[in-house]
Amino acid sequence: MMKTNNFPKGFLWGGATAANQLEGAYQEGGKGLSIADVLPGGKERMNIIASPDFDFKLDPKYTYPNHVGIDHYHHFKEDIKLFAEMGFKCYRFSIAWSRVFPNGDEEQPNEEGLKFYDALIDECLKYDIEPVITISHYEMPLHLVTEYGSWTNKKLIGFYENFARTVLTRYKDKVKYWMTFNEINSATHFPIMSQGLVLSNGAGDKKNIYQAWHNQFVAGAKAVKIGHEINPDMQIGCMIAYGTTYSYDSDPKNQLATLQDNQVNNFFCTDVQVRGHYPAYTKSLLARDGVKLSDIDYNDEELDLLAENPVDYIGFSYYMSLVVDVTHENQETAAGNLLGGVKNPFLKASDWGWQIDPTGLRIALNELSDRYEKPLFIVENGLGAIDKPDENHYVDDDYRIDYLREHIEAISEAIDDGADVMGYTPWGCIDLVSASTGEMSKRYGFIYVDEDDEGNGTFDRYKKRSFDWYKKVIETNGADLA
């Protein structure tokens, strides 16, 4: 089933992870606690965090799977070797802020933490794997939340700047591709992960979310500025969760609601970070959330910084599409990584209820390409599924191959449509702890890790069927998807 190959030469095939979900070793090498370290494991994770009582304290009645992750901290050489065997051209990972600045507000970095990333980056380069680094992926130092009230506090801009300057400078000749914040747009629904906000420290008041966003935009623009000053070849992107959004029907009420939903969920952050200014609909968007522009602390100097330092490319995750309906009551709903919306009768769903929609990815690429005319990087996509290994620990994951194949076909079609796509890094290329549920049993990887939801197991790695399949995809630059 070879097809005409339209993936550009140098297309960045690879895989993606985040420090807090795989490294483990949460207190080794001088690392401080991060917000991810205090998130309980299990399907109740989001409900526990959403409760007004949640106070960021470790509680013996819960388990904390992020503490051990998949122990990548001690297995990274073995893991990178497996990625190299698949032929990865790039590897997207994040630097745990609390490994480098354990509390977040120190002036000098923790050298031991940096040494770990020196070794990790060198290991990638040894195999010609291009590192793609997320500066902050849902793992800010806990101290910045408990001591400073998190991203609503403008001091965070300076702390992030110091962190970003440290890593951008140290790796200026080794790492070209960076992203400022993972899924920055997720804050309206899950401000805990990217903004460190929960009910007890102000998440209930939407003005805090917008203030935190503004401060993050400024901090991100500073990182872009620093990166370009250090090395003009650096490519620094933003990163959002993109959920292609359909209207339930042609009722203009649903069409308008879909447009407004797109503004807040998909476009607001990129509009600022890519175009360098707040979009014309900002005032009306804030008003829909009961927030006035005068509630936000911002100044001309910050707006100039945004204007002068737009991002170089758009990184985004894509897992599913959504349906908006404001005209019917009691519609069946779907689950999702940000919002589930109404169930789409045309789509099947994953074991976790996320609706599978490869055409939605083609639409996403077209929508982003039309709106921004910038390079696009799909830095997360994949199927979280329950894998059942046989007695040899082999997983026959045809369902995962089907999912990825259909999404890669959609990318190829979008390239034909004219989208400028830089690369594709499927999420959780090695099994890791899930962000939304803290489970190991929600697996995305090409590599199986022998570990259960309680963190028990041998931690041995095994290749799944998808491992050889993806290797062939990369070898043929996306031509052989059979």
Q: Which of 266, 309, 436, 466 binds ligand BG6 (CB under 6 A)?
A: 436
**Residue 22 CA: distances (Å) to CA of 28, 136, 227:** 14, 15, 27
Q: Interior CA angle at 106 toward 105 and 112, to 5°?
A: 125
Task: Work out how close the CB of 317 gets to ligand BG6 at its nearest, in angstroms, rounded to a whole number.
Answer: 5
Q: Which of 121, 168, 356, 435 binds ligand BG6 (CB under 6 A)?
A: 435
Point out which span in 108-116, 299-307, 340-348, 431-439 binds ligand BG6 (CB under 6 A).
431-439
Q: Which of 98, 110, 182, 355 binds ligand BG6 (CB under 6 A)?
A: 182
Pairing status of strand 313-317 against strand 376-380: parallel
Q: Which of 23, 130, 139, 183 binds ligand BG6 (CB under 6 A)?
A: 183
Instruction: Report how many residues bind ligand BG6 under the rule CB under 6 A.
Output: 16
Point out which span in 80-88, 96-104, 123-131, 430-438 binds ligand BG6 (CB under 6 A).
430-438
Query: Which C-beta is closer to ligand BG6: that of 312 or that of 380?
Result: 380
Using alpha carbons, select from 227, 237, 244 the residue that is nearest to residue 12: 237
- Dihedral of CA atoms 191, 96, 320, 357 in degrees, nearest 10, equals 170
Structure tokens at 68: 């051990």
Q: How big, in percent rounded to 5, are the helix, strand and coil portions of the chain?
A: 45, 15, 40
- Active-site residue (options: 23, 183, 302, 380): 380
Are 221 and 306 spatial neighbours (Cβ–Cβ below 8 Å)? yes
Residue nearest to ligand BG6 as judged by C-beta position? 436
Using alpha carbons, select from 446, 438, 448 the residue that is nearest to residue 15: 446
Residue 86 engages ligand BG6 in binding (rule: CB under 6 A) = no
Quote the CA–CA distance of 183 and 220 in Å, as a whole number: 13
Residue 188 engages ligand BG6 in binding (rule: CB under 6 A) = no
Query: Which C-beta is closer to ligand BG6: that of 224 or that of 432?
Result: 432
CB atoms within 10 A of CB 51: 12
Q: Which of 247, 254, 317, 355 binds ligand BG6 (CB under 6 A)?
A: 317
Point out which span in 63-71, 99-107, 285-293, 435-443 binds ligand BG6 (CB under 6 A).
435-443
Catalytic residue status for 130: no
DSSP result, 403-462: HHHHHHHHHHHHHHHT--EEEE--BTSB----TTT--SSSB--SEEE---TTS-S---EE
Binding string, residues 202-241; x marks residues near ligand BG6 by CB under 6 A: ---------------------------------------x
Residue 18 engages ligand BG6 in binding (rule: CB under 6 A) = yes
The footprint of ligand BG6 on residues 346-405 (CB under 6 A) is 380, 384
Task: Work out how close the CB of 380 gets to ligand BG6 at its nearest, in angstroms, rounded to a whole number.
Answer: 6
The footprint of ligand BG6 on residues 22-41 (CB under 6 A) is none
CB atoms within 10 A of CB 259: 14
> What residue type is 452 in one-letter code?
D
Applying CB under 6 A, the residues found at the interface with ligand BG6 are 18, 21, 138, 182-183, 241, 317, 337, 380, 384, 427, 434-437, 442
Catalytic residues: 380
